[in-house]
Structures are given as structure tokens and as C-alpha cells.
Structure 1
Amino acid sequence: MRVRELFDLDGQVALITGGSRGLGLQMAQALGEMGCRVVITARKADELAQASSQLRELGVDATTIVSDLQNPAAVAPLVDATLAARGQIDILVNNAGATWGAPAEDYPDEAWHKVMNLNVNAPFFLAREVGKRSMIARRHGKIINVASIAGLKGSLGPMQTIAYNTSKAAAINFTRALAAEWGKYDINVNAICPGFFPSKMTAGLLDKLGQTVVEQTPLHRLGDDDDLKGAVVFLASRASRHVTGQYLAVDGGASVV
């Protein structure tokens, strides 16, 4: 097989959570440009509409579904709607996430549960549902969990985000555990660990510490709008068919210092 063919995703269906903006939209664009029929989901209809318009301007075949994955009851209807629209799910990108900053001794119960519900529970429930209904019987599937370099360290400088760091470490081991179980079904499960990218989630921190983050990153830059595209296409395509249970840090080297 020619190398270009290994990365071709023509006709594949990709479901991307948190796909209306930021890293989710970046990955939806990349998968769409490589031939995927993409389904993006998020809580806000207006943001989904804007993202869909942006994707269609690029020639991407995009469908939107409003869904709040903080609520476990939203998982099955999301899969129902995706299968009704597209017939199958070949690629699942668990990207939706939340964070909350507070000292550990004062961390609110509400904040802990919010972060864990979206960052840990939702990816598992969604992977379980997609696996049972579209991947296992077909012996075909790629699951990509968006973790973070925050899951590789106890802390990232002055960030007081114990739930976020804990949840992203859980996402990495969830990736390993599911890969070990579902390899027999020819399902690949891998994770991407982004470093600092400008986004709504990181805006406040980068306003205060952006220059320090850049100085402490070996490549001396933040991630930009193109930096996750190659990683997600690799992990979604046949090029990674012998890769499972792994994480790929896309962080300018921040996790190695």
C-alpha cells in the first residue's frame, strides 16, 4: 500500500465530542479534509452551527448534534442520532472536557464531580456504547481519547487543578486498559496529550503566564491551529493500525523538562 493511502479516511465516519470549537474543531477539520464524514457534538447549538458552517466552507461533510455529556443519559441518544444520520461510527474522538481551579483543601464537591463526569465518565460510557453498537461486531474501530500533559505530572506550575490532572491521568490509563481488552476486536485505542494551546479553557492562565510557559517549553512556542491535525489523522488512519494503548504528547516538549 502506498503511504498516502495509509492516511486516507475516505468514507469513514468520525464522531468528535466537544467539536464546536478549539481542539475539537481543529481535529474535525483534519479528519474531514482526509475524507471523513464528521459528526460534531457539543452543548451549545449556536456554536455548533458556526462550526458546521466553517467546516462546510472547507468542503467537509459535517453533521451536528446538540448533546450535554455531563449527563450520562445523553450518551445513548447521541449514539442513536449519529447512527441514524451516518449508519456507522468508525472513529470516536473523546475530546469534550472541563476544568476547575481551586486549592485542593478548598476544592468544591460540585467541581470535582463536574470534571470527573465529563473527563472520565463520559468517554467510558460513550466508548462502551459505540463499541457495542458499531465497532465490536464489525471488528473495526479507532478510539482517540484527548488527555493532557497534565495527566503526566502532579502539577503544571501554579495550576491548582487537582481534578483535571487526576482525570487526565485516568484518561491515559483508561486508554491502556480498553486497548488491552478490545485489541481482540481489531479496535485501536490511543490518546493524545496536548500541551498548552490557546483556547477558551486556557485563556485565563495564558493571559497571566503565557510568556513563562513559552520560555519553559523546549520549542519555545504554544500549540497552534494546525498542531493536532497530523496526530489525530495518524491515530485515526490505517497508518497506526499496529499502535494501540499509547499516548502521544503534542506539547512542544513541555512534558520532558
Structure 2
Amino acid sequence: MTTKQLFDLRGKTAMVTGGGSGLGRVMALVLAEAGANVVVCSRRVEVCEEVVKEIEALGSQGLALSLDVTNPESVVQCLDKALSHFGKIEILINASGTVFEAPATEMSLEQWQSMLNTNVTGTFLMCQAVGKHMIENEYGKIINISSSIGFKGVDPEAVDSVGYTTSKGAVMTLTKDLAVKWGRHGVFVNSIAPGVFTTGMNNPEIPGTLVNKAGAFIATQVPVRRLGTDNDLAGAVLYFASSASDYCTGQILVLDGGLGAK
């Protein structure tokens, strides 16, 4: 197999949760550019439809579906529609996520539960449903999106959200455990842990977002002295989604500009 063939996704079908915006949209387009059909799903189906237009402009097929990852019935219905349309799902990216900032002494139970439900339970429910399908077909690539701040405590000046850091740490452990359990079935489970990227939640141009609020602090801490961009994510996504990673499972790839090395 040539190097180009290792990264070729033509004939594959991917499902991307949270694919209508932010990093989810970026990853959906990366897969489409590599030749994959892409199911784009989130609570807001209208934004998913816009991404599908971009996917089709790249020459791949797309499908926009409504999905609430915290609702088991919604997960099953979304998967059934995707399978009815494309027949098979070989790649799953769990990019749905939410974050609320508040000091640990003030974070409400509702905020805490919302982050755990979406970021952890939602990821599990998608892995469970799509994983069954992949096990039956003896092949699959699952990419869970965690975060570099899920490894350890974080200065409140950067991100003050104990619920978010806790949830992302849980996603990493979920990834490793499923990798051990499902490797024998040909299902590979890995995680990408981004640092601070310029997305809707982290945009220095938008007042009130995390980066706008703490941009100066974060910029002085990242060794490469910049935030992550779309191009910084593309290679990692393509590697984990393709045959290039057929001997790699249970791994967390950190994309943080070197911040974790300090």
C-alpha cells in the first residue's frame, strides 16, 4: 500500500457529531476532502445542512441529521437514518461538547450535569451505538475529542470550569478502555486532545468567549506563541481515521502548541 493509499478515505463513510460548527465542522471537511462520505449531525440541523453543501462542493456525499447525543433514542434514530442512507459507518468522530465557566465553589449542579451529560454520556452513547455496528463489521475508527486541559488542574485565569476539565479527563479514560475491549474486533478508538483553538467557543474576536476573556494569559503560556488553527487539526484527524493508524489504538494525541510539555 502506498503512502497516498494509507490516507485515502474514498468509499468510507464517517459520522461527525457536533459537525455543524467549530472543530466538528473542520473535521467533517477534512474527511470529505480525503474522499469520505460524511454524516453531519447536531442539535441544529440547519447548520449541518450548510456544512453538507461544503462537503458536496469538495466532491463527496453528505447527509445532515438532527441529533441530541444525550438522548439514547435520538442516537439510535440518527444512526438508523445514516445506515439507511449509506449502508455502513466506518468512522465516528465525537465532537459534540459544551462548556460553562464558573468557580468550583459557584458552579451550579445544572451546569455540572450538562457538561457531563453532553461531553461524557453523549460520547459513550455514540460509541456504544456505532461501536456495535462496527464490531459486527469487524472494522471501525472512533475518534473522541477530549482536551489538553483534561490531564491536570488548570489555572483559573485560563479556564475556570471544573466540570469541563473533569468531563474531558473522563473521555480520555473511556477512550483507553474501549480501545482495550474492542481492539480484538477490529475497532480502533483514539482521542485528539486539542489545546486552545480558534473556534466559536474560543475566538479572540468575539467578546465573552474563553480566549477573548483570557487571550493575553494564554498567548504568553503556549510555547509556539499562537492558538491552534484548522490546519493544525487536519493531519491528526486524517491519521486516526485512515489505514495509516491501523496499529494505533487507545492513544491520546495532544495538539496544544507545546503547553503540556512545560
Same fold (TM over 0.5): yes
Q: Residue in 2 aligned with 1:221?
A: 226
* TM-superposed deviation, 1:137: 1.6
Q: Secondary structure at the match of 1:40?
A: strand
Q: Residue in 1 aligned with 2:139?
A: 140
User: What amino acid is aligned across from residue 245 of structure 2 in structure 1?
Assistant: S
Q: Residue in 2 aligned with 1:60?
A: 60
Q: Residue in 2 aligned with 1:185?
A: 185
Say if 2:258 is the partner of 1:253: yes
**Contact kept? 1:147, 1:194, Cα under 8 Å:** yes
Identify which range, 100-109 or 189-198, moves more after superposition: 100-109
TM-score (normalizing by structure 2): 0.94
Point out where structure 2 has 5 or more consecutive residues left out of the alignment.
204-208
Identify which range, 156-165 or 6-15, moves more after superposition: 156-165
**Contact kept? 1:29, 1:60, Cα under 8 Å:** no
Q: Residue in 2 aligned with 1:30?
A: 30
Alignment of 1:158-177 (within 5 A): 158=157, 159-177=159-177
Whole-Å separation in 1 of the counterparts to 2:111 and 2:135: 34
**Contact kept? 1:19, 1:28, Cα under 8 Å:** yes
Whole-Å separation in 2 of the counterparts to 1:30 and 1:156: 32
Whole-Å separation in 2 of the counterparts to 1:180 and 1:10: 28
Identity, % of aligned pairs?
39
User: What amino acid is aligned across from residue 84 of structure 2 in structure 1?
Assistant: A
* TM-superposed deviation, 1:156: 4.4
User: What amino acid is aligned across from residue 226 of structure 1 in structure 2?
Assistant: N
Whole-Å separation in 2 of the counterparts to 1:193 and 1:99: 15
Q: Residue in 1 aligned with 2:235?
A: 230
Point out where structure 1 has 5 or more consecutive residues left out of the alignment.
none
Whole-Å separation in 1 of the counterparts to 2:13 and 2:24: 15
Q: Secondary structure at the match of 1:167?
A: helix
* TM-superposed deviation, 1:41: 0.3
User: What amino acid is aligned across from residue 145 of structure 1 in structure 2?
Assistant: N
4+ residue runs over 3 A deviation: none
Alignment of 1:112-127 (within 5 A): 112-127=112-127
**Contact kept? 2:70, 2:125, Cα under 8 Å:** no
Whole-Å separation in 2 of the counterparts to 1:50 and 1:135: 28
Q: Residue in 1 aligned with 2:71?
A: 71
TM-score (normalizing by structure 1): 0.96
Alpha-carbon deviations, 1:22-52, whole Å to 9, x = none? 1011111111111110001011122112222
Whole-Å separation in 1 of the counterparts to 2:180 and 2:86: 28
Whole-Å separation in 2 of the counterparts to 1:155 and 1:20: 28
Total equivalences in the alignment: 256
* TM-superposed deviation, 1:112: 1.0
Whole-Å separation in 2 of the counterparts to 1:207 and 1:105: 23
